[in-house]
């Protein structure tokens, strides 16, 4: 009998990482229905990158179809603030990625201070030492960028960058497919709704963090778990927490 390597499932020979990847692609594919939650789709994407690719954090900027990029998803507060910093200062790897339509990487941010004189000190202060960004794209159409942050100076392996690109591509198809449903106006409307939803989610996180004496990341986990356990949209739960005082904290 051959011993299975670390992380392999007995009886299948499939590693836990491969199984997790399969599950992620299935979940992303499951969102490709007529009425899906863009915020939840992209939230799954950034957390999948952290869980499967072994990066420290991930964030996602999306084109609002009005010529602007906006933060839609992040796996941590540090990633969220760093993505906002890029937008406010018009500088950083995710912006370069969206502009070029190609992956942008830095295996050691200390070596790229001239390239990003404002972004690098902010990233270092947040605890990140390297970064990789891949575009959300479908052929020549670029609708956003996915940022991967690492707390050590290292390059994301080429195979992992390809996986990140594949996840981003699937998410892009999930968003852009709406145009094939003869409702081209819906894409712009959905993206705008996603940005509005993100505001509600951030407000709900703040309410839960104060009410339950939690960190913002822990508050988001509570919010997301309640939504999934009750088969509700993340935005619906967030609005209920903010406007109706819905109690989602575990007893």
Q: Which fold has domain 182-251?
A: Arc Repressor Mutant, subunit A (1.10.10)
Q: Over the range 146-166, which residues count as b (16 or more CB within 10 Å of their CB) and which as e?
A: bbbbbeeeeebeeebbebbbe
Q: What pLDDT score was predicted for residue 145?
A: 95
**Helices 93-100 and 77-89, packing angle to 10 deg:** 60
Contact present, 191 and 64 (Cβ < 8 Å): yes
Contact present, 233 and 200 (Cβ < 8 Å): no
Residue 85 — left, alpha, or beta (φ > 0 → left; ψ -120 to 50 → alpha)? alpha
Distance linking the first and last C-alpha atoms of the chain: 47
Question: Where are the domains positioned within the chain?
Answer: 16-180, 182-251
Note down pLDDT in tens along the chain; length 251 residues.
Answer: 333 233 434 344 456 777 767 776 666 666 555 556 777 778 888 988 998 898 999 999 988 777 789 898 999 999 999 999 999 999 999 999 999 999 999 999 999 999 999 999 999 999 999 999 999 998 888 989 999 999 999 998 998 999 899 889 888 887 776 545 545 555 566 666 777 777 888 899 999 999 888 998 889 889 988 998 888 888 889 989 988 888 888 87
Torsion of CA 237, 240, 246, 247, to 10 degrees: 30
Count of residues for the chain? 251
Contact present, 39 and 73 (Cβ < 8 Å): yes
- Report the percentage of the chain scoring pLDDT > 90: 39
Q: What pLDDT score was predicted for residue 153?
A: 95
Q: Which tokens in the block code for residue 55?
A: 């990066």
Q: Which CATH superfamily is domain 16-180 in?
A: GAF domain (3.30.450.40)
How far is residue 53 from each of residues 38, 45, 48, 108, 163, measured CA to CA in Å? 22, 11, 8, 18, 8
pLDDT tens-digit map of 26-61: 666 665 555 567 777 788 889 889 988 989 999 999
Within 13 Å of residue 91, how many CA atoms lie on the same side as its CB?
13
Contact present, 249 and 208 (Cβ < 8 Å): yes
Enumerate residues 6+ apart whose C-beta is below 8 A from 2: none
Q: Could you tell me which of 62, 126, 67 has the C-alpha nearest to residue 94?
A: 62
Strand-strand pairing, 57-63 and 141-150:
antiparallel
């Amino acid at each position: 009998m051959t011993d299975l390597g670390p992380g392999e499932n007995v009886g299948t020979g499939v590693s836990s990482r491969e199984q997790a990847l399969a599950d992620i692609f299935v979940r992303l594919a499951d969102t490709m229905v007529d009425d899906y939650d863009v915020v939840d789709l992209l939230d799954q994407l950034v957390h999948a990158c952290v869980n499967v690719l072994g990066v420290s954090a991930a964030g996602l900027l999306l084109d609002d179809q009005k010529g602007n990029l906006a933060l839609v998803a992040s796996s941590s507060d540090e990633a969220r603030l760093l993505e906002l910093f890029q937008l406010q200062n018009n500088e950083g790897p995710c912006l370069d990625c969206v502009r070029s339509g190609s992956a942008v990487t830095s295996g050691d941010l200390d070596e790229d201070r001239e390239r990003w004189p404002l972004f690098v000190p902010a990233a270092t202060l947040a605890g990140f030492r390297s970064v990789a960004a891949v575009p959300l794209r479908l052929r020549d159409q670029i609708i956003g960028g996915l940022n991967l942050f690492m707390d050590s100076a290292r390059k994301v392996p080429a195979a992992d960058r390809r996986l990140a690109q594949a996840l981003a591509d699937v998410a892009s198809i999930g968003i852009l497919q709406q145009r094939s449903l003869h409702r081209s106006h819906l894409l712009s409307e959905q993206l705008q709704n996603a940005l509005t939803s993100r505001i509600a989610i951030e407000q709900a996180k703040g309410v839960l963090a104060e009410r339950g004496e939690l960190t913002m990341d822990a508050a988001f986990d509570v919010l997301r778990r309640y939504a999934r356990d009750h088969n509700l949209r993340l935005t619906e739960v967030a609005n209920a927490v903010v406007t109706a005082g819905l109690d989602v904290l575990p007893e």
